[in-house]
Structure 1
């Protein structure tokens, strides 16, 4: 898709025309062109893709340097992420961070760190699954026979 955008930009197409051709909103094209310019000021698809890939690898925005060290120190002392969140909230001058952000950091970096952060958790799960988009099993009845009126062969319904 970035290469398609690059070709259309080189053809001097308007942002709204580019958006229509790839079926996205024109503000999406505006953000893409603003945030992905090369040093020369032109849109280069390869550079845009590289920049996007680097952004995806970043740590969560709150987990940086000193805060990350505080969280790792608390994990080494066998605090749970919920307890770490509470401790940091009570400390004066410390940033607050949710336990969910800590869990996201742990599960995102479980294979990249030399020291396994997962080993510091009290309860270790192999993999976390998102609840979004999953079909619930609770509401389905196996081999259900419906109560809708059945049509008999040869009968006509008048209605």
Structure 2
């Protein structure tokens, strides 16, 4: 769970007053582990600094990306190989790796397929099952 700036200010204030992590977590309605991780990650020179912690959080959040640019380069190649050769994603990745060079992992191939499924229903055919659970924790149920 992402903490807000006001929650971070409260953490800073409660720490100065000598509250425990457990008591702080009760007061700001988050799990005590969230407070513990926040304090561990954002320990500043003079103790916890809410503004420093929030700036650091925003900086890291801006660097997050969905697909890497290199993955997007492979998208057309992946989609055409699946349609033309009728490979499963596992077969495609293993074949490309045997041929040499770098290629995205199976998980990434599945994510590309699921993202393109509405525009191209024929992509369902190479999939082994119609319901999937990606390693990222997202659950996909493909409409039939």
**Can you list the C-alpha shifts for 1:128-154, whole angstroms capped at 9, x where unaligned?**
xxxx9xxxxxxxxxxxxxxxxxxxxxx
1:88–1:9 distance in 2 versus 1, CA, 3 Å: same
Task: Compare CA radii of gyration and give the structure with the larger one.
Answer: 1
Residues 88 and 94, structure 1, Cα contact 8 Å, conserved in 2: yes
Q: 2:52 aligns with which of 47, 50, 58?
A: 47
Aligned to 1:6: 12
Q: 1:21 aligns with which of 20, 27, 36?
A: 27
Count how many residue pairs are aligned between Structure 1 and Structure 2: 103
Q: Relative to total residues, which structure has the larger strand share, 1 or 2?
A: 2
Residues 22 and 32, structure 2, Cα contact 8 Å, conserved in 1: yes
**Can you list the C-alpha shifts for 1:44-95, whole angstroms capped at 9, x where unaligned?**
11121122223323125xx55xxx42x3332355x42994x55334314755
For the residue of structure 1 that corresponds to 2:43, the secondary structure is coil
C-alpha separation between the residues in 2 aligned to 1:18 and 1:97? 42
**Which fold has the larger relative contact order, with Cα–Cα distance below 8 Å and residues 6 or more apart in sequence?**
2
Q: TM-score if structure 2 supplies the norm length?
A: 0.51
C-alpha separation between the residues in 2 aligned to 1:59 and 1:34? 24
Structure 2: unaligned runs, 5 residues or longer: 1-6, 83-88, 121-138, 140-144
Q: TM-score if structure 1 supplies the norm length?
A: 0.48
Q: Relative to total residues, which structure has the larger helix share, 1 or 2?
A: 2
Q: Tell whether 2:34 aligns with 1:33.
A: no
C-alpha separation between the residues in 2 aligned to 1:56 and 1:89? 33
For the residue of structure 2 that corresponds to 1:80, the secondary structure is helix
1:89–1:10 distance in 2 versus 1, CA, 3 Å: farther
Aligned to 1:74: 74
